[in-house]
Amino acid sequence: MLNPVWLETFRTLIDIGHFTQTAEALSMTQPGVSQHIRKLEDACGYPLLKRDTRHFVMTEQGRQIYEYACARKAEETKLMASLNADDPFSGVCNLACSGALAMHLYPSILTLQKAHPGLIAQLEAAPNNRILEGIHAGSLDIGIVTRLPDPHLYDAESFGKEHLSLVLPVEYEGSQVTAALLNKIGLIKHPDVYHYLGLFLSACGDEELSKIKPDSITASGYVNQIGQILLPVTFGLGFTVLPHSAVKPLADAGKVYVPVMPEPVFEPLYWIWQHQRNLPARFTTLFTSLKDA
């Protein structure tokens, strides 16, 4: 029998993609993570990772072990959910949403957990496709996405909407936003940028901007950490598009410029879960709390 602790370490490492960050997430040391992986490889009789000095990828055997670990985690989650199915203030809720929305919702989650310590919400920042995959596989209970998914696989309920903002370096304050200006500044890319940018250009009420193809704009950088995406904008190195909740602190401080467009741009949000799954009562508690956040 494979050690469940080693399996969880391996699954977490693959999900995070970095040994040091995995150690932090599991409250371990980096050598401890490496030791768990070696012991799991010894138990399996196969190498699970191909490593070089900076990166690693899964072997085929590693991929099979990862899928097994995910399935095991999903079964454990379902078991824990069933044990606390009727208690609205106790149990684990695995939730995923975009990084920007996670930053906005996390204080409300902590407030809820402080009031009800037995209610544990485990929040993951992920793009739409990973959220859908996680719910379908059972590793996530619920997610917040921006597009209605296949109704044969998922149930959904409106969660409201979020305001999208175009964010420019502050030195361009007062400038007319044109295709030429955006190409001059350059796009700071992030995992959701083309989705956000395409929606913004088509819905902001500016005829010239609506004709721009998002992937035609010159890129000047890429960041995948939500807390760092606006940093190059503050340095004047590019522009981007993000939910306004992630932009407001820097905009209020005068460190970035958010132009006012002819039409405000909003993106719908949907709360989703596995089709025909009867969610325990604690999810109603969580949903009610977060919808008012």
Just give the CATH number of 1-72: 1.10.10.10
Q: What is the pLDDT of residue 85?
A: 58
Domain positions in the chain are 1-72, 161-267
% of the chain beyond a pLDDT of 90: 74
Calpha distance 246→227 (Å, rounded): 8
Q: What is the pLDDT of residue 284?
A: 92
* pLDDT-derived band at 7, boundaries 50, 70, 90: very high
* pLDDT-derived band at 43, boundaries 50, 70, 90: very high
| CB crowding 133-144: b at 16 or more within 10 Å, else e | ebbeebbbbbbb
* pLDDT-derived band at 214, boundaries 50, 70, 90: very high
Q: Which is nearest to 114 in space by CA: 142, 95, 89, 94?
A: 89
- pLDDT one-digit tens code per residue, 91-110: 889 999 988 888 889 999 99
Q: Supply angle C-alpha 184, 267, 237, rounded to 5.
A: 20
**Lowest-confidence segment of 85-94, 117-126, 181-190, 198-207 by average pLDDT:** 85-94
**Lowest-confidence segment of 51-55, 150-154, 199-203 by average pLDDT:** 51-55
- pLDDT one-digit tens code per residue, 112-125: 999 999 999 999 98
Upper half-sphere CA count for residue 148 (Cβ side, 13 Å): 7
- pLDDT one-digit tens code per residue, 258-270: 999 999 999 999 9
Do the domains at 1-72 and 161-267 have one common CATH topology? Answer: no
Average pLDDT for the chain: 91
What is the architecture of the domain spanning 161-267?
3-Layer(aba) Sandwich (3.40)
Q: Which amino acid is at 172?
A: Y
Q: What is the pTM of this model?
A: 0.65
